[in-house]
A and B are shown apart, each in its own frame.
Chain A
Amino acid sequence: MSNVRLLVGTRKGAFILTADAQRKDWHVNGPLFGGWEVYHIKGSPADSNRLYASQTHGWFGQVVQRSDDGGVTWETVNNEFAYDGEVGTHMFYDGTPHPWAFKRVWHFEPSRTDPDFLYAGIEDAALFLSRDGGKSWQELPGLRAVKGSLWQPGAGGMCLHTILVDHNDSNRIYVAISAAGAFRSLDAGQTWKPINCGLVSPYELPDPAAEVGHCVHSIAMHPARPNVLYMQKHWDVMKTENGGDSWSEISGNLPSDFGFPIAVHAHQPDTVYVVPIKSDGEHYPPEGKLRVYRSRTGGNEWEPLTQGLPQEHCYVNVLRDAMAVDTMDPCGVYFGTTGGQVYASADEGDSWVAVCRDLPAVLSVEAQVIP
């Protein structure tokens, strides 16, 4: 019988939560790397015991941790992310040129076939690749060549936070950057095209329909439909059906179309989950009610999922990498909050239980199914 493992990154360490297929009784292990921020921790689809963790600290910089035994033991690997060639400049908050400088790793995306092969999305935004399990890192500089001088940091920094690789064609990669937008490569990351046509950002950009500069918060894809992407933008929930060539809004009846994470059901490509947040100035749920919204129609028609979630006096946020689904049947859905709760649903979001209530602020959640 399969087990489920949740990999939870927080402001003060990592936690590994495990349960059997029923996903009712959870064992909590942690904190790992206590006192350090763990932006992301993710397992290899090719070897579920191979984990990578981004351990970072405002004082002491970046550490990359690797486990070969499902998180029981860890070893540090290379933490040097050197930009390729001339560093150049991007746009700073005040609109002036600012040199690129490495700050931290936001996201790891391990290969589906090789546990030693993985991408890293970093701040200041760039995409790196390791072919040796994190022992060395090389930038894929073609991405920053796409008008990188015009990219600006979002409030959380200029971070490459989303990396999606087509399950059937590993040459096709999507990434998203705050605040630069979404980009697509068809040659394994050598060259890139901005895919932001249809995004409109009237409150953030002088040119609301600019080719780059949009504050994309997260993108999700179902592996069966690599041309269909769902996006939670700073404002607006968006969808493309042509690999990003054009986007249309699917916010529909959401109480707010601001938010951070977005996820797709593991077995139903038209079923999408978001967590509406009141506004960019008020990072908490509308009306103090923590509601996941689910669309079974690929957007526009959304239903609130509230059973087991606090429906009064709730003022937490759910960050962009803090929601995940598992591949069990029925599909499990998970998210963590800035208040330290980790909620789990073993029935596609119909009902929720708090696996943990008092962790440090949750930065990321990933789900693994362990054979």
Chain B
Amino acid sequence: MITVVLPVQLRTLARITEDVHLDLSAPPTPTSIVDALEAQYPALRGTIRDPATGRRRAFVRFFACGEDISHDGMDRSLPDAVQMGKEPFYIVGAMAGG
């Protein structure tokens, strides 16, 4: 069971107030996490990755164990602590603007 933390705008959209817990059959990757999120919460479709290209949206970032792994590819493996549910997988709206 892994834990996913969503930004407030996506929690609102998905009508959830807490972190999301996902039970994935295979070792998680950013792709499999987003796949599972979109399946569980269809309102999130297209909000984390562009539906036309499948690419992570430019202002969305993925963090694991305190590191920005956004540019490591959508199919990279995640740290053991995330896989074991000890650390959450963060989906973050990037800080931008002023």
Contact = CB atoms under 8 A, between A and B. Distances in A.
Taking each of A57, A61, A79, A102, which has the highest tally of chain B beta carbons within 10 Å of its own beta carbon?
A61
Secondary structure at the B interface, as helix, strand, loop or mixed, is loop
Contacts of A62: 46
B57 A63 contact: no
Interface stretch (B4-12, B21-29, B72-80): B4-12
Interface residues of B, number: 20
Most chain B CB neighbours (cut-off 10 Å) among A76, A79, A80, A82: A76
Interface string A113-135: 00000000000000000000000
A63 B13 contact: yes
A60 B47 contact: yes
B42 A76 contact: yes
A79 B45 contact: yes
Interface string B32-49: 000000000011011110
A52 to B, nearest CB: 15
Interface in B60-87: 60
B57 A61 contact: yes
B51 A63 contact: no
- Of listed A34, A60, A63, A102, residue having the most chain B CB within 10 A: A60
Interface residues of A, number: 16
Nearest to B48: A60
A63 B43 contact: yes
Interface in A162-186: none
B19 interface: no
Contact of A60 (B42, B52, B93): B93
Given A35-B12, A36-B9, A79-B51, A59 B59 contact: yes
Contacts of A33: 12-13
A76 B38 CA distance: 12
A239 B46 CA distance: 41
Contacts of A61: 46-47, 50, 57
Contact of B57 (A60, A79, A82): A60
B94 interface: yes
Nearest to A83: B52
A205 to B, nearest CB: 31
Interface of B: 7-10, 12-13, 42-43, 45-48, 50-52, 57, 59-60, 93-94
30 contacts: A33-B12, A33-B13, A35-B9, A35-B12, A57-B47, A58-B59, A59-B7, A59-B60, A59-B93, A59-B94, A60-B9, A60-B10, A60-B13, A60-B47, A60-B57, A60-B93, A61-B46, A61-B50, A61-B57, A62-B46, A63-B13, A63-B46, A76-B42, A76-B43, A79-B45, A79-B46, A79-B51, A80-B45, A80-B46, A80-B51
Interface of A: 33-36, 57-63, 76, 79-80, 82, 102
